[in-house]
Amino acid sequence: MVPLAQARREVLGAVRVLPAEPVTLDEAVGRVSAQTVTASGDIPPFANSAMDGYAVRASDTSGAPAVLEVVAEIMAGDVPRVPLGPGTAMRIMTGASMPEEADAVVPVEQTEVEKGRERVRVLTVAQPGEFVRFPGDDIRAGEEVFYASTVLTPARIGVLSSLGMTEVVVHKVPRVGVLSTGDELADPTEPLFPGKIRDSNRPALLALVRQSGFTAVDLGTVGDDEDAIGAAMRLGASCCDAVLTSGGVSVGDVDLVKVVLDELSGGSMRWMQVAIKPAKPFAFGTIADGRVPVFGLAGNPVSAVVGFEVFARPALRMMAGHLQRDRPVLRAVAATDLRRRRDGKLHLMRVVVRQQDDGTMSVVPSGVQASHMLNALAEANALALVPDGEGLRAGQRLEVMMLDSQADESGARSLDDALEAMKILEAPA
Ligand code: AMP
Ligand code: MG
């Protein structure tokens, strides 16, 4: 058996970041920047008022209350047209350009108008710089606003627009083909004949692909037939950046997926038994001259999804330019015993993780742990990493990979870090 960390290294070592393309800001949310963005100018570009009030020379208010003559009104978008002489003030709106001679703004709430608005009584002493936003306060010209590989959030798109940018260069979004294989899979429009089942893997994997922000391409369902599998794989190679198949990779299988992929990959496919449960059988290689990675996921529905989570999703995120490839892994505490048998594998148990009032994350199984029991996965919000042995007792600490959160930058551990901490990098006996 291959340790999980090693299998993941092989996969990530074989995929490449996709090329970049310019997109408009409309299309940029969630994309990964392929460029470092340098500020072309100061933000804000000029000194302006932070409040509706009066632009003043702060020294004129030192004996407050002080009465100043109101010589002009400056609206947002306008510029002052007369100088601000000593003993005078200008009515100024939030965001309006400061007169050069003014060094403070007195908010309107700290003033009283006098004599038909021609004069203002300033009630408090203004300090120089008060309620003024200075040029470059937010972003300085020449500053690196963010680096390549940054995920474009709505606020970052706002930053780009404030710098006058209308386009940004981002990594392409992987187009991911999904194929189900197996003679037992019934056509969804047909009644369910004896011995047949409905295809759950393809819809679930297509949904995972979409939910992860990639473009899903439905390659359909094929029977255990060499020509049909070959045709579907060639179609996938021609129109996709990666292909996910499920079924036909375990040891006892009719070997047709293997035959086809061995041929299309020029012998590069690796047929692995990974030291995990579920998702132990896993095949990986590249087709189309090494351009298109193929993930041969196990057929059991839970295995297919878990295989996607630990192998395909991180690789596809890498292709999309992400630095954070895994779901966040958190430390948690078993709320009940998490029993298992010693079998040389890391178990990825389907669990529900809930935050307690004291902040700890408590873990309970979400249902029966069997690789055909999709419902327990459907109820789960995390996969608990339960190391080889007899399992964990209530109260013991463990690591959980959250399935309902995107990888983030909040300092959660990566799966690799967690595996390292658990010292299960090397092959168990
Ligand atoms: P296989 O890896 O092809 O030997 O399949 C292992 C198990 O997963 C068998 O019980 C299959 O019937 C089941 N299976 C394979 N593909 C699918 C699928 N697309 N949807 C639901 N079950 C599947
Ligand atoms: Mg099969």
pLDDT in tens, 375-389: 999 999 999 999 999
Average pLDDT, the chain: 94
Beta carbon of 250 within 6 Å of any ligand 1 atom: yes
In 3D space, the residue among 258, 298, 264 whose CA is nearest the CA of residue 279 turns out to be 298
Beta carbon of 302 within 6 Å of any ligand 1 atom: no
pLDDT in tens, 276-335: 999 999 999 999 999 999 999 999 999 999 999 999 999 999 999 999 999 999 999 999
Q: How far is the CA of 327 from the centre of ligand 1 (A)?
A: 25
The answer to whether residue 421 scores a pLDDT higher than 90 is: no
The answer to whether residue 251 scores a pLDDT higher than 90 is: no
Q: How far is the CA of 357 from the centre of ligand 1 (A)?
A: 41
For the beta carbon of residue 159, count every other beta carbon within 10 angstroms. 18
The number of the ligand 1 atom at minimal distance from the alpha carbon of 184 is: 12
**Whole-number pLDDT of residue 116:** 78
Beta carbon of 307 within 6 Å of any ligand 1 atom: no
Counting ligands in written order, the one closest to the CA of 307 is 1
Beta carbon of 299 within 6 Å of any ligand 1 atom: yes
Q: Ligand 1, atom 16: nearest CA belongs to which residue?
A: 299
pTM, two decimals, is 0.92
What would the mean pLDDT of 155-173 be, rounded to a whole number? Answer: 98
Q: How far is the CA of 213 from the centre of ligand 2 (A)?
A: 28
Confidence class for position 429, pLDDT limits 50, 70, 90 = very low
Counting ligands in written order, the one closest to the CA of 183 is 2
Q: How far is the CA of 182 from the centre of ligand 2 (A)?
A: 4
Cβ atoms of 294 and 21 closer than 8 Å: no
For the chain, what is the HEC assignment?
CECHHHHHHHHHHHCCCCCEEEEEHHHCCCCEECCCEECCCCECCCCEECCCEEEECHHHHCCCCEEEEEEEEECCCCCCCCCCCCCEEEEECCCCECCCCCCEEEEHHHEEEECCCCEEEECCCCCCCCCEECCCCCECCCCEEECCCCECCHHHHHHHHHCCCCEEEEECCCEEEEEEECCCECCCCCCCCCCCECCCHHHHHHHHHHHCCCEEEEEEEECCCHHHHHHHHHHHHHHCCEEEEECCCCCCCCCHHHHHHHHHCCCCCEEEEECEECCCEEEEEEECCCCEEEEEECCCHHHHHHHHHHHHHHHHHHHCCCCCCCCCEEEEEECCCEECCCCCCEEEEEEEEEECCCCCEEEEECCCCCCCCHHHHHHCCEEEEECCCCEECCCCEEEEEECCCCCCCCCCECHHHHHHHCCCCCCCC
Q: How far is the CA of 245 from the centre of ligand 1 (A)?
A: 11
Beta carbon of 253 within 6 Å of any ligand 1 atom: yes
Contacts of 370 (CB under 8 A, 6+ apart): 302, 376
The token duo for 388 is: 């080889």
The answer, yes or no, to whether the previous bond of 44 is cis (omega within 30 of 0) is: yes
What's the rounded Cα separation, in Å, for the pair 185 and 207?
19
What's the rounded Cα separation, in Å, for the pair 390 and 370?
17
Strand pairing partners for 349?
384
Beta carbon of 296 within 6 Å of any ligand 1 atom: no
Q: How far is the CA of 181 from the centre of ligand 2 (A)?
A: 6
> Which one of 196, 201, 205 would you pick to mutate in the ligand 1 pocket, going by the greatest count of ligand atoms within 8 A of its CB?
201
The percentage of residues in the chain with a pLDDT greater than 90, rounded to a whole number, is 90
**Whole-number pLDDT of residue 427:** 47
The number of the ligand 1 atom at minimal distance from the alpha carbon of 246 is: 16
N- to C-terminal Cα separation, the chain: 9
Cβ atoms of 93 and 49 closer than 8 Å: yes
Confidence class for position 255, pLDDT limits 50, 70, 90 = confident
Confidence class for position 424, pLDDT limits 50, 70, 90 = low
The answer to whether residue 152 scores a pLDDT higher than 70 is: yes
Counting ligands in written order, the one closest to the CA of 300 is 1
Beta carbon of 200 within 6 Å of any ligand 1 atom: yes
The answer, yes or no, to whether the previous bond of 278 is cis (omega within 30 of 0) is: yes
The answer to whether residue 249 scores a pLDDT higher than 80 is: yes
Beta carbon of 180 within 6 Å of any ligand 1 atom: yes
**Whole-number pLDDT of residue 407:** 59
In 3D space, the residue among 226, 259, 261 whose CA is nearest the CA of residue 243 turns out to be 261
